[in-house]
Each structure stands twice: as C-alpha cells, then as structure tokens.
Amino acid sequence: MARTPNSKPSAAVRPPAAGKAAPAPAATQPPPNLSTARPQTAPTIEPKARPSREEIARAAYFRWLKQGGDPTSNWLAAEQELTRGKVR
C-alpha cells in the first residue's frame, strides 16, 4: 500500500518523537507459583473443648433443680449435653 503525503503511519509503526523515550511495555505479573499456593477450602469448625468439671457440675445441678433424679445420672446427662453442645 502506497503512502500518500497526507497519511500518517500507524501508532504501532510510528517512531518516538525526538527527545522523548519510547513508552515502557506494560508490566505483567508472573503466574502464581502453584506448588506453594494454598488450596481454597471451606473453613473448618473445631470441636468444642471438653467441658470443665465446674461446667458439668453447674449443668447437673440445674438439671437436678428442674427434674430431680439421681446425681450420677444428672452428671452423665449434663456431661453428654455439654459435649454435644446442647446446653439448655
């Protein structure tokens, strides 16, 4: 294609103007290092720590106030409820 006197060369071909530096190429980020990237997983829910003796005693006492019953069965039921997280 012949160039006419009024046509201008395209920007990709045009040399930089005198005294001006050519623009720097766009910076690109390197790809992530897949060997060290952590996989995205759902958050984990840690099990509740074992209840203390005081927590069990308190729950067993309130159970006894509500229902009566024998201390050992109230203790075991309170311990089981606290361990499962079913505190009422």
Report the C-alpha gap between 51 and 35 in whole angstroms: 41
Q: Which amino acid is at 79?
A: E
Which pLDDT score, from 0 to 100, does residue 74 have?
96
Does pTM top 0.75 for this prediction?
no
- Do residues 88 and 81 lie in contact, with contact meaning Cβ atoms separated by under 8 Å? yes
Which pLDDT score, from 0 to 100, does residue 65 have?
96
For helices 53-67 and 71-84, the axis angle rounded to 10 degrees is 120
Report the C-alpha gap between 78 and 88 in whole angstroms: 10
Q: Which stretch of 10-19, 26-35, 72-81 has the lowest confidence by average pLDDT?
A: 10-19
Mean pLDDT of 74-83: 94
